[in-house]
Structure 1
């Protein structure tokens, strides 16, 4: 469909409609760290401990998740410097394995992965910001969900308003996250220095290892690392991507892995395993024991950390919908950009309804297991696609080239976790698989070759034109890849 903003001359660069390169190396690192360090490190320790067996094995899971995430991140850095389009997982599957896997990833992202992920992060935000007001009782679930929806709405509005403002807020919140982790790590290390080792005794007793639940422990751990790929969603907006993508991804993962291990050690230096398992908000329980006088401050800092992860996730995910619409696998409206704000307004607004729905019907850990199957299955497919792409196109320039053993190990690990999750949590895994496969009829009936009647198509185009005028959006006027 054509753009309603027609001119008789070629638009000047300063007034043309396109997504500007505003993500510097500092902002890219802030985006990666800011989306990884969100709710995960403050809620996942419970899930990792519950499904690994004891403290020692839970720490091994955290380290293994960090190494595995680094392997995935290095593979994505390879892809991000050789395939220069924004869109992350979607665009890499499209370029390496073809349109069907790419569409199924997009479908799963829109109807399940993205809304469930944002709901998990935003529910953690709502819980941490309101829990201190009701201490020592738990906050009412409805109150948590109301605060959660307010937080989601605020972040969407900010993303619609300005890329620069959103990036600056992300950088500030990332700095705040590191301070928050420091407030947890320092007292924990001091406690260890004073001889508080009892919670680590018997930490590697093989009889306590829960092999059948181990994939769920990895789901919780990998969720906490689950922002390393967001930099690849905004490739076209990164300054000097061939240099800054590998640097930002590698630096952020090394920092985050070290912080996560130290944070977990600090938790167990202060809290017993039973206290971690019984806590709805581990960082709040930690603050109650470690900072009795200022225990209400840490939950607010954690809530702001979750807000930063929510901001980064929404900023990046909207670019996947934008890229898919530009490739013709999603309605054209969502490839349009606000004329003055230069933000992908329709793609951002599209995420709101399903996030609201997930917030009000889902619980935090159920949502985590629900979407993890599809997320890690497609991550494995992307790194498999990297190996296929290398074989098919050896002549293509690759500014950052990783040894093939790295994507191979990551691919095998992803498929192993996905396969064993069918045994560990068959209900949520089966639902996730079914939702993903529900995209097949949509692809064959609508995307591959449209079988929609002409009268419906004309009405849809008319509605698109009206929404385009209402939202003041236009198609991209400058190619950015």
Structure 2
């Protein structure tokens, strides 16, 4: 049982997550989370698994279009289902509690820790790599810097929603500056006649059709983040208007920026140099920006830092929403009585994040969690189609043509299915971990059979942690 407000001996304003996210902050959250480490590390993965420069650029464009389809579908869901929580809430409302719980289980034990660690490991590498040039930085040093960065972001998000949102806005602007610093010299070099790296761009001798799903994973990872605005629906001012505007502006901006950035990479670096590089943006800067190259790693690290901030800010809301729906421990749905932040949901993500950091294989982690991530996004948009037929009477302030969620669903399920063939080990592990949530669901939610002593102990620990963290359930309904 939760401790009452009076037990926390705090008097003041009503405790709930307030609407503090304006349109500018929503766009900053989306762009700032999409542009993270992906565009600085994924070009290698896309090129490696596509086989040539031409096809890799096509995949970058296709990933942008596919992400736009997904974002528009989620905007439809977010303006008709007005709860925070993103994927989890949409699956719960459209397909039922079991798919929603499996998505939540995969999110907590695999997707979120692995996703944060992919970005944070890139952050750690870009921070410390310049100190060891021309050698590679020691793995342990990268992991220590990574852990420090994650801890700092979680502490900031625990302290203030406004501070986290304002930092996200500033870092989003800085990301666009960083991208511009890469695009401009590349375009200048290209238009001055240096097109030798684009000769025979669709070289069939290096084509790797069986690896295309993994190329899409790398590309879609770089676009990942377009859905985070749906995680914080209850905190967005005028979500019916601002969510659709946010996703359209953000995805158009990012798609154009990504394609131009990749063209710049390939103008300066050969395909072999991209594949050999541990940090593509750093290799580009060493070649194209000799006098300014030392600043690029710092800017890229700050870009990764912003993506981490946005991802942690949003994902805590999924755990918060699931707890409020009764599918996750009650402590996760509590809010700090003075700072009005979901402090328990933020802090309790840390152990698994640090475990993933200790694993540290960047590309292995990417394939490891992508299976479940894209499977459930495809199911969420399938849920939109089903929800439309079941509830035609519901008001939909933003309604997309049915073909858009259908195409996104088919593509997600196709990529997921093909990935089991292309990388059966990592994707198989991801599938197994997702399915491990089945017995947990049936034993704790569907037909609870937890011994009374365990329940009493759990309630006792919850009450003690609640007092220690100074948190209580939200006091008013926000949807």
3-state DSSP of counterpart to 2:335? strand
3-state DSSP of counterpart to 1:130? helix
Paired residues of 1:77 and 1:246 also in contact (CA < 8 A): yes
Does 2:472 correspond to 1:478? Answer: no
3-state DSSP of counterpart to 2:150? helix
1:88 corresponds to which of 81, 86, 89: 86
User: What CA distance in whole angstroms lies between the structure 1 residues aligned with 2:266 and 2:134?
Assistant: 21
Residue-pair matches, total? 477
3-state DSSP of counterpart to 1:337? strand
Aligned residue in 2 for 1:5: 5
TM-superposed CA distance for 1:98, in Å, is 0.2
Does 2:465 correspond to 1:462? Answer: no
Paired residues of 2:117 and 2:357 also in contact (CA < 8 A): yes
Paired residues of 1:3 and 1:475 also in contact (CA < 8 A): no
3-state DSSP of counterpart to 1:462? helix
Structure 2 gaps of 5+ residues are none
User: What CA distance in whole angstroms lies between the structure 2 residues aligned with 1:166 and 1:3?
Assistant: 28
Aligned residue in 1 for 2:131: 133
3-state DSSP of counterpart to 1:474? strand
Deviations 1:252-290 (A, max 9, x none): 000000000000000011111111000000000000001
2:208 corresponds to which of 202, 207, 210: 210
User: What CA distance in whole angstroms lies between the structure 2 residues aligned with 1:399 and 1:295?
Assistant: 47
User: What CA distance in whole angstroms lies between the structure 1 residues aligned with 2:21 and 2:94?
Assistant: 26
User: What CA distance in whole angstroms lies between the structure 1 residues aligned with 2:207 and 2:167?
Assistant: 42
Aligned residue in 2 for 1:32: 30
TM-superposed CA distance for 1:207, in Å, is 4.5
| Large movers: runs of 4+ above 6 Å | none
3-state DSSP of counterpart to 1:239? coil
User: What CA distance in whole angstroms lies between the structure 2 residues aligned with 1:401 and 1:202?
Assistant: 43
1:404 corresponds to which of 396, 402, 405: 402
User: What CA distance in whole angstroms lies between the structure 1 residues aligned with 2:447 and 2:157?
Assistant: 34
User: What CA distance in whole angstroms lies between the structure 2 residues aligned with 1:364 and 1:78?
Assistant: 33
Aligned residue in 1 for 2:426: 428
Give the TM-score normalised by structure 2.
Answer: 0.98
Give the TM-score normalised by structure 1.
Answer: 0.98
User: What CA distance in whole angstroms lies between the structure 2 residues aligned with 1:290 and 1:452?
Assistant: 62
User: What CA distance in whole angstroms lies between the structure 2 residues aligned with 1:283 and 1:134?
Assistant: 16
Aligned residue in 2 for 1:253: 251
Does 2:98 correspond to 1:100? Answer: yes
Written as runs of structure 1 = structure 2, the 5 A alignment for 1:352-371 is 352-371=350-369
How large is the RMSD of aligned CA atoms in angstroms?
1.1
User: What CA distance in whole angstroms lies between the structure 2 residues aligned with 1:24 and 1:208?
Assistant: 47
